[in-house]
Structure 1
């Protein structure tokens, strides 16, 4: 959703957005915010099956060992965290790029998914009769990430205008969520510029230089220079060592 598109939303979408924001405004901490948002999505949008996952990096959020879940997701979340999270279609570079533009997307908007993500859809979501999936990407305090999943079990995909409204909602929720008490920013970020930290996250999430260049729409040489700067600033010798540093800090705060 482009920002200009928000002006074309039906009034009912604005009503839902303002209602959710009012509901969540009572939160004084991130845990409270998670529960209030899950309840608000159910009451204001009639979304009964939801998840709230957080992590120090985009892909790291899918490894959240303590997700908040509702509805039909609760009995299957252990199966997800046992291994399916690694193949989640929303954890792909393609999804990262789409969410950077829109903040809310449906799985049907992702084309040419890798084999693992297709398998995840067929053997996990569809096997559990979850027919559609959408996700909101929120920015949290300390540059952490939150992925709010919405799953349908009645063959009712989120319509485009509602998805556009959810994108606007995600931006507003991010602004509020960043004011809530949370974990301190991971120390590996402290010596990096915002752009270097962004690229560092993608390196830690396993993206190659070519994938990072495509995801961020920048040149390959630029990516290589930033990656070298990240490794030098964090005093790590290679990408594997850097990824271990990020994962160690992520586990420490779980």
Structure 2
């Protein structure tokens, strides 16, 4: 497959992004292809420097400000399918929650992205999502088989590529949440953070839970590692 041939041996992250996007566009005749990467699945949606083509390109600011949290591929069900199978079409998701239904009806459709699908990649530094959007081009059975095969093979290539995710905590977290995350990284307990920030311990528990959800970190140790890794970039 031409996509795999073009991506073989590429370990430079930016070159890999652009090569994947261009190869998928030219091979499958898809109008709009996007590439988002992050330190976790959730963090990928906050990628500050994604690759976007076609109608999606001028919509980044609107997407990040209004639609990122409502993205149809950000639901738990979509995540499970993509992480398991590597490929998913929006048409396969039934009974979308209200925010995701609005994302489709009020964002994708008006911008000519009525046919939407995604490939999930596990990279050396986290996760990446390749979005494919068009107004008319729909995959037939042979196309779906080819894209599923592509997703499996691209995962092998992507596993060697490390993307710079250093600024994403500032994108994913509010200033208050970032302060809590830094105190967690210093080894403080919830009670100690509560005293430090003049909060109730219950409020701190809620902050920490939301931070775990936003960053994709499963526990305090993972969050600490993430904060310490990114701190030199932003203080």
Q: Give your verdict on TM over 0.5.
A: yes
Q: Distance in 2 between matches of 1:177 and 1:165?
A: 18
Tell me if the contact between 2:37 and 2:163 (Cα under 8 Å) persists in the aligned partners: no
Counterpart position of 1:180: 161
Question: The residue matched to 1:82 in structure 2 has which SS?
Answer: helix
Map Cα deviations across residues 153-206 of structure 1 (whole Å, 9 max, x no partner). Answer: 2x2222243223212211211111112344599xxxxxxxxxxxxxxxxxx9xx
Question: The residue matched to 2:111 in structure 1 has which SS?
Answer: coil
Tell me which structure has the larger Cα radius of gyration. 2
Q: Among residues 114, 135, 152, which one is paired with 2:97 in the alignment? A: 114
Counterpart position of 1:240: 207
Counterpart position of 2:28: 45
Question: The residue matched to 1:65 in structure 2 has which SS?
Answer: coil
Number of matched pairs: 190
- After superposition, the Cα gap between the structure-2 partners of 1:239 and 1:161, relative to the gap in structure 1 and judged at 3 Å, is farther
Tell me if the contact between 1:105 and 1:163 (Cα under 8 Å) persists in the aligned partners: no
Counterpart position of 2:61: 78
TM-aligned CA deviation for residue 36 of structure 1: 0.6
Tell me if the contact between 1:30 and 1:177 (Cα under 8 Å) persists in the aligned partners: no
Map Cα deviations across residues 92-114 of structure 1 (whole Å, 9 max, x no partner). Answer: 01101221332111100001111
Counterpart position of 2:146: 165
Counterpart position of 2:75: 92
Counterpart position of 2:133: 151
Q: Structure 2-normalised TM-score?
A: 0.71
Q: Among residues 45, 52, 55, which one is paired with 1:62 in the alignment? A: 45
Map Cα deviations across residues 218-247 of structure 1 (whole Å, 9 max, x no partner). Answer: xxxxxxxxxxxxx9xx87644632553774
Counterpart position of 1:133: 116
Counterpart position of 1:35: 18
Q: Distance in 2 between matches of 1:67 and 1:184?
A: 11
Question: The residue matched to 2:26 in structure 1 has which SS?
Answer: helix
CA RMSD between the two structures: 3.0
Q: Structure 1-normalised TM-score?
A: 0.66
